[in-house]
Amino acid sequence: MSAKSALSYSILSIAAAIATIALKFGAYRFTGSIGLLSDAMESGINLVAALVAFWALSYAAKPPDEEHAFGHSKAEYFSSGLESALIVVAAISIAITAWERLFAPQPLEQIGLGLGLTLVATAVNGGVAWILLQAGRRLNSITLRADAHHLLTDVWTSVGVAIGIFLVNLTGWLILDPIIALLVAVNIIWTGVQLLRETASGLLDKSISAEEQKIIRDILAPYDRQNILFHALRTRMGGARRFVSFHVLVPGEWTVHQGHRVCEEIEQAIAQALPGTHTMTHLEPIEDPISWADQGLDRMTRTP
């Protein structure tokens, strides 16, 4: 199951968070930069988020049971939702601290050493973020994608802070340090809001993507030649899993065995094309006099 595969990536995220916290707090202690402190605070949020992601992926990997017949994959949305909220909280904390320093700027010390530690931490976060993003897309895991976007936000935070410190060193304008921190906070809030929207969309049973729906329609299209029609296609996402249902209309003279064979054939084809998809079909005679429109269902024509 993809959730089990994703679990190993969340461990990598935890290790990266611990390493970058040590590096960034070290950089802050050496320089006294409020920008570096804001950067280190965000890495602390990264660690909390990574631990929550580990729990969510562990829970999502559990098999279906009597109380959760469709599995536990939606547990991932708890992680992405909490991570989104933590991103926003971190940004607000950074903004408050930067605002106070804006009116009382302080000189920076050992800038070279501080920047060196920050750049090492940035490289670690950038590499891990890229790995998590690729894995999240491949495994269709919103938890890994949220974690990756959070780390990428951290990367841009570090880059912005490093530029600010460099400009402070170059110009002597101490006020640039808190200004950069405020700009970083705004960018972090934007990322958190975007992730919250994606989480809300998943909890509201968003349909699978248009590209994936086209794959399903392409699988169904060849059955036209067997005088088979389909309608009432419904899809939804549940964490890393997809759920698909539709009605299969076959000639009334067919035996139950014939109809069942076609349904199984279609379900297997969809599972192969879209791994992690649970397909439910409902068999009907094509001569059924009940109007599809009366049922409030949309017909899928012979040329989907």
Task: Give tens-digit pLDDT for 149-181.
Answer: 778 877 877 787 777 777 777 777 777 777 877
pLDDT digits (tens, 9 = 90+) for 186-236: 877 877 787 777 777 666 667 778 888 888 888 888 887 777 888 888 887
| Domain with 20 in it | 2-203
Q: What pLDDT does 180 receive?
A: 76
Do residue 157 and residue 237 come from a single domain? no
Do residue 189 and residue 224 come from a single domain? no
Do residue 194 and residue 274 come from a single domain? no
Domain boundary among 203, 218, 247: 203
Domain boundary among 173, 203, 233: 203
Q: What pLDDT does 149 receive?
A: 76
pLDDT digits (tens, 9 = 90+) for 267-299: 999 988 888 788 888 888 887 655 444 444 444
Do residue 98 and residue 158 come from a single domain? yes
More confident site: 247 or 207: 247
Contact at 8 Å (CB) between 139 and 4? no
CATH number of the domain to which 152 belongs? 1.20.1510.10
Do residue 271 and residue 135 come from a single domain? no
pLDDT digits (tens, 9 = 90+) for 4-61: 567 778 788 888 888 888 888 888 777 777 667 767 776 777 787 778 778 777 776 6
Do residue 69 and residue 189 come from a single domain? yes
Q: What pLDDT does 72 receive?
A: 63
Do residue 6 and residue 142 come from a single domain? yes
Q: What pLDDT does 290 receive?
A: 52
Closest listed residue to residue 6, CA positions, set 143, 153, 146: 143
Q: Supply 176's token pair.
A: 């640039």
Do residue 166 and residue 215 come from a single domain? no
What is the tally of structural domains in the chain?
Answer: 2
CATH number of the domain to which 263 belongs? 3.30.70.1350
106: pLDDT confidence band, cut at 50, 70 and 90?
low
More confident site: 160 or 131: 131
Residue type, 31: T
Domain boundary among 155, 186, 203: 203
pLDDT digits (tens, 9 = 90+) for 182-192: 877 787 787 77
Q: What percent of the chain has pLDDT over 90?
A: 3
Residue 122 has pLDDT above 80, yes or no: yes
| DSSP conformation letters of 66-80 | SS-TT-STTHHHHHH
More confident site: 238 or 226: 226
Do residue 168 and residue 253 come from a single domain? no
238: pLDDT confidence band, cut at 50, 70 and 90?
low
105: pLDDT confidence band, cut at 50, 70 and 90?
low
Question: 3-state DSSP: the chain helix, strand, coil percent, rounded to 5?
Answer: 70, 10, 20
Do residue 181 and residue 51 come from a single domain? yes
Do residue 40 and residue 143 come from a single domain? yes
Q: What is the mean pLDDT of residues 244-253?
A: 88
Element (H, E) at 42: helix 34-60
